[in-house]
Structure 1
Amino acid sequence: MTSTRVQPFEDVAPALVDVAMGRTPADLVIRGARWVNVHSGEIVPGTDIAVKAGRFAYCGPDASHAIGEDTSVVEADGRYVVPGLCDAHMHVESGMVTVTEFARAVIPHGTTSMFIDPHEIANVLGLPGVRLMHDEAMAQPVNVFVQMPSCVPSAPGLEEAGAAITPDDVAEAMTWPNIVGLGEVMNFPGVAANDATMVGAIAATRKAGKTVGGHYASPDLGRAFHGYVAGGPQDDHEGTRMEDAVARVRQGMKAMLRLGSAWYDVATQVRAITELGLDSRNFVLCTDDCHSGTLVREGHMDRVVRHAIGQGLKPITAIQMASLNTAEHFGLAREIGSVTPGRRADFLLVSDLAALTIDAVYAGGQLLAEAGRLVADLPAYDYPDSAKNTVKLGKTLAASDFEIAAPAGVNAATVRVIGVVENQAPTKALTAELAVSDGLVEPDEAQGVAQIALVERHRGTGGVVNGFVSGFGYRGPMAMASTVAHDSHHMIVVGTDREEMARAANRLGEVGGGVVFFAGGEEKALIEMPIAGLMSAERCEVVADKADRLIEAMREAGCTLNNAYMQHSLLALVVIPSLRISDKGIVDVDRFEVVDLFVS
């Protein structure tokens, strides 16, 4: 695998041998460490680690033979040397920032390898957008591997995205130097039905000898699940129950357990290890989606590992699940995932293993962060104009665009309602009886039912689809709009007042995308995301501060959900049950069909 910061193993192997033999001095030696060995599952005290040309050359009891006049020597004083942490599945765009700014935020938290699926930008800009993020990823001082998006749009026939990815696009991407596999295959009914696009994309990936990412977002573990597994996906991060993890592992998949900003799926599934005794080497940790506030305030993969330890895993087991297990899954165990000779020298100095207190972060043998602060220089990465100005509304929206006409002659209407589930990606398919005023169906604060709208923003059609959502708890006149709307990334507007909804939508049209919150006729919070309407060009800390203001505005309007913004952003994700909204209408994901808003 190509790296811009570490030379290929075959080019430096003789130098590594010379260091191990004492013929050549190392560039760096860590002395007196406790070696967290994820291969043997043990902690080896009194270990010295020698690094040459960005790779480990020696791991043993005494590296004094590798110390020369110019060797940098770091005294570990009994601290742990831990492999750099790997995030097995994630979307940079969910952090609201670019790859560079994401790396800047997570490096101090010990993340040295990320496996990113840029299907958010792919839904807006197609293959050229993926290439932009691929190239930015290669410019980082840590490993940012890319999985080629597989499902753009995620569910053909149920939504229209801003672009489409074809099997030919996938085949082309497999020739790029930093592509490690196919991103999550979300069209699970398509795989089970042998859809030609899915079959072609998976075949192109397998022919290239790379990994096929999975996404089976259904509780049905019957024939449909078995058909999906038979189609080729090799992992899955959509499990929420212990039986989901068990089923994946028994079928030869890797169960990816995620802890993101709003997805808390580790605790239930890790019981497959702690209670049932399943082999932990077939489990992997990931984040999937983390927004900037979580990264800055709480952490990244260090947060996930601590959480897994808190659920009863031994520290070394949790670390394996965030290092070696990930590397092996993607066929990269000879490059990353452990502190062993020949691998890239990505490691952490940790003073408390159970608490994962990270004192220093190294990647390619270079010190990148110390005491929780980045010490390396990461130059800003500039995106071209072609990646901006992507929000095309086609007109100035008015309150009338958000009106929902009731069936003729009724005083109340029974409607389908998208029910948000706190800390989980799936929604509930609910119904509610709502009042009709002047022929229009109204949201109901007492029932907790707000209005939701999807505004087409890729082609400027002026199209608006309206529906209802519950679970946010908003009170008083308000509206929140976002052009981050997985996966097709139109604009989602949730509100209790049609005038406010129009204001919010038009404001995002003015700034080129992002998230905005209006209440009482005033703009309470705004996060500008001009890059594809998905990412900010600002520092992660700045975006996190703006996100804090957004969360506060939501709370002031009555929303008490944990990370409600993440819930908002998934309301159009038509590949996760049960009820969603798209530019085609209200979607019953359990049946994979568009349904009428009104229940007869």
Structure 2
Amino acid sequence: MYTDLPTWPASASKLVATAAGREPADLVIKGGTWVNVHTRETLKNYDIAIREGRFAYCGPDASHCIGEHTEIIYADGRYILPGLCDGHMHIESGMLTVSRFAQAVIPHGTTSMFVDPHEVANVLGMAGVKHMHDEALAQPINVFVQMPSCAPSAPGLETTGAELGPDDVAEAMTWPNIIGLGEMMNFPGVVNGDPKMLAEIAATQMANKTVGGHYASPDLGPNFHAYAAGGPADDHEGTCEADAIARVRQGMRSMMRLGSAWYDVETQITAVTEKGLDPRNFILCTDDSHSGTLVNDGHMNRVVRHAIECGCDPLIALQMATINTATHFGLERELGSITPGRRADVILSSDLKTLPIEQVIARGKTIALNGENTVDSTAYNWPANTRGTVKLGKTLTATDFAINAPDGANTATARVIGVVENQAPTKALTAELAVTDGIVQGDETKDVCQIALVERHRATGDVTNGFVSGFNYTGDMAMASTVAHDSHHMIVVGTSRENMALAANRLGEVGGGICVFKYGKERAMVELPIAGLMSDQPAPDVAAAADQMVAAMADCGCTLNNAYMQHSLLALVVIPELRISDLGLVDVTKFEMTPLFVDP
């Protein structure tokens, strides 16, 4: 395990002595361009001195801090930037454990992450959260954990593998690495004054920690104001400029996300670039990034570059990924800037706009150089009871995926979940579908195929069936995944009931993951044995399997960008408009169950 960084009080005398020149620094970075995110300046030919993992001196000449054993890095005019912070994310979406995720993002300059493990909480409960908490503490970068607020995310609309409540939240607030409450997804509960939701928020605020928000509705009327009054301090579900403006006007931080499938920065950052709002109330984040994105495209460096491409001043974009995030979580005196006393998390880069990550330093130690890790993240032994969590209760057959037509009907008008490319919300569609031998059929010409949710926590053998549009699948195929936010049952989408049964049973055999079947043969498999959500294999290996999965989906006709992420959210019953759960079809505009078929 990595040694804990000394606190500022424990290091203060040494930091002062180094800054004064009485004692030598451990490391000095000489001759760089200091990016000061407090003043939004770039200061040429400055030196940075580091002692015991913290910044001691930031000024024009650190020669007085150099001793016989001081390590010197010559920046040669390159930019000296604070390490990047991800203000809202889910480790599990990377399909990786914490240590493997850290290995993947360190070369991209991420040195602080604020993670909400509500995926593993829905499967393993408090034990799963504690495992994530403990693994996070062992990493060479800062991984702060938010206590999940909603398991289930929408009580009465889904059944999860575990449930959490106010007492669990209060207990977690005593753990050393809990930074606050994870996103409060049950926004109708807050709006309606649900005692359980308000008690969780109260327990967090009593601990002087930050309450994460999740207001996934376009309604900015009284319901939005009621949610803001309920205490959430931020929100990442905005999709347009009006959303961003509304949030910051109510004293919330607007978190703008660029994940693998969410492209919500460009449509909101105009609140700063065109409307001129104070940028210190805006934060960049990823929310959900799968392993392929992390390995091939980047992490927070990708988000910052994208914000700059959208017209944001590079220094403002960097503030949104460093000091703004630290301030929001009450850590401005601890991280997020290159200033005395803070954790020595540093990036060296030769260009502010394209942001090549040439060297990464965390807590005063070089941890990545030219895209390669120079230290190992500490692995964690996830126990046996966190594996083998896929419990189907029986061997599934094509009959389990048959959708019976209304009595005597020759055709049926069905409600259809409509996937929206690059966004989390879905559309509530309808389609007139044919009936053969009493069974309602999908329609390839209308881009309507079947979707099923297979219960996998309690071995009930239950299957909920419906229809989905937007994937453009053709031929006899099926895709199954035990990553199904947030209840994390198994989602199966397909054009062939036989292939759907094959895919579901296969995931039961391997203990969880994602697979694609076509014409009765397995075309791709990503094994995720830990809670059916994560792998403890290296990120490049998982990314390679994920790339094969994406290629198999394309071979089945799918043209949707990052279609896997859309697939994994089809059971997310807190984001409008239409979703599926183990209890049936959910109208998320009304937060109530709705029939599959429309009455004639």
Query: Shorter-chain TM-score: which interval?
Result: over 0.9
Q: Is the 8 A contact 1:4 1:138 kept in 2?
A: no
Equivalent positions of 1:204-243 (< 5 A) are 204-243=203-242
CA displacement at 1:410 relative to structure 2 = 1.2
Pair 1:355-2:359 in alignment: no
SS, match of residue 358 in structure 1: coil
Q: Is the 8 A contact 1:478 1:496 kept in 2?
A: yes
Residues 196-236 of structure 1: CA deviation (Å, up to 9, x unaligned): 11011000000000000000000000011000000000000
Q: Which residue of 1 aligns with 2:252?
A: 253
Q: Which residue of 2 aligns with 1:337?
A: 336
Residues 526-581 of structure 1: CA deviation (Å, up to 9, x unaligned): 00001000001211000000001000000011000000000000000000000000
Q: Which residue of 2 aligns with 1:40?
A: 39
CA displacement at 1:382 relative to structure 2 = 1.8
SS, match of residue 494 in structure 1: strand
Q: Which residue of 2 aligns with 1:294?
A: 293
Pair 1:413-2:391 in alignment: no
Write the distance in 1 (CA, Å) between the matches of 2:103 and 2:445. Answer: 44
Q: Is the 8 A contact 1:517 1:526 kept in 2?
A: yes
Residues 222-270 of structure 1: CA deviation (Å, up to 9, x unaligned): 0110000000000000000110000000000000000000000000000
SS, match of residue 147 in structure 1: strand
CA displacement at 1:468 relative to structure 2 = 0.1
SS, match of residue 552 in structure 1: helix
Write the distance in 2 (CA, Å) between the matches of 1:148 and 1:89. Answer: 12
Write the distance in 1 (CA, Å) between the matches of 2:409 and 2:376. Answer: 64
Pair 1:475-2:467 in alignment: no
Q: Is the 8 A contact 2:2 2:378 kept in 1?
A: no
Equivalent positions of 1:11-410 (< 5 A) are 11-410=10-409
CA displacement at 1:128 relative to structure 2 = 0.6
Q: Which residue of 2 aligns with 1:587?
A: 586
**Aligned partner letter, 2:5:** V
**Aligned partner letter, 2:341:** G
Q: What is the TM-score with the length of structure 2 in the denominator?
A: 0.99
SS, match of residue 133 in structure 1: helix
SS, match of residue 121 in structure 1: helix
Equivalent positions of 1:499-510 (< 5 A) are 499-510=498-509
Residues 175-196 of structure 1: CA deviation (Å, up to 9, x unaligned): 0000000000000000011111
SS, match of residue 44 in structure 2: strand
Equivalenced residues, count = 599
**Aligned partner letter, 1:96:** M
Q: Is the 8 A contact 1:96 1:536 kept in 2?
A: yes
**Aligned partner letter, 1:558:** G
Residues 375-429 of structure 1: CA deviation (Å, up to 9, x unaligned): 1122432210011110000000011000100011111000000000000000000
Q: Is the 8 A contact 1:34 1:80 kept in 2?
A: yes
Q: Is the 8 A contact 1:5 1:364 kept in 2?
A: no
Write the distance in 2 (CA, Å) between the matches of 1:220 and 1:282. Answer: 21
Write the distance in 2 (CA, Å) between the matches of 1:192 and 1:378. Answer: 41
Pair 1:559-2:558 in alignment: yes
**Aligned partner letter, 2:90:** H
Q: Is the 8 A contact 1:92 1:118 kept in 2?
A: yes
Q: Is the 8 A contact 2:2 2:139 kept in 1?
A: no
CA displacement at 1:362 relative to structure 2 = 0.2
Write the distance in 1 (CA, Å) between the matches of 2:225 and 2:64. Answer: 55
**Aligned partner letter, 2:136:** A
**Aligned partner letter, 1:321:** M
Residues 495-522 of structure 1: CA deviation (Å, up to 9, x unaligned): 0000000000000000000001000110
SS, match of residue 357 in structure 2: strand
Q: Which residue of 2 aligns with 1:544?
A: 543
**Aligned partner letter, 1:454:** L
Pair 1:513-2:518 in alignment: no
**Aligned partner letter, 1:22:** G
Write the distance in 2 (CA, Å) between the matches of 1:139 and 1:314. Answer: 35
Q: Is the 8 A contact 1:5 1:141 kept in 2?
A: no
CA displacement at 1:371 relative to structure 2 = 0.4
CA displacement at 1:353 relative to structure 2 = 1.0
CA displacement at 1:4 relative to structure 2 = 4.4
Q: What is the RMSD of the two structures over their aligned residues, measured on CA atoms?
A: 0.8
**Aligned partner letter, 1:355:** T
SS, match of residue 525 in structure 1: strand
Q: Is the 8 A contact 2:138 2:378 kept in 1?
A: no
Q: Is the 8 A contact 2:2 2:140 kept in 1?
A: no
Write the distance in 2 (CA, Å) between the matches of 1:227 and 1:499. Answer: 48
Pair 1:443-2:442 in alignment: yes
Instruction: Give unmatched runs, 5+ long, in structure 2.
Output: none
Q: Is the 8 A contact 1:425 1:576 kept in 2?
A: yes
Instruction: Give unmatched runs, 5+ long, in structure 1.
Output: none
Write the distance in 2 (CA, Å) between the matches of 1:22 and 1:3. Answer: 29
Pair 1:573-2:572 in alignment: yes
Residues 338-371 of structure 1: CA deviation (Å, up to 9, x unaligned): 0000000001001111111111000000000000
Write the distance in 2 (CA, Å) between the matches of 1:301 and 1:443. Answer: 40
Write the distance in 2 (CA, Å) between the matches of 1:221 and 1:571. Answer: 24
Pair 1:526-2:522 in alignment: no
Write the distance in 1 (CA, Å) between the matches of 2:581 and 2:2. Answer: 39
Write the distance in 1 (CA, Å) between the matches of 2:419 and 2:3. Answer: 43
Write the distance in 2 (CA, Å) between the matches of 1:385 and 1:229. Answer: 41
Q: Which residue of 1 aligns with 2:453?
A: 454
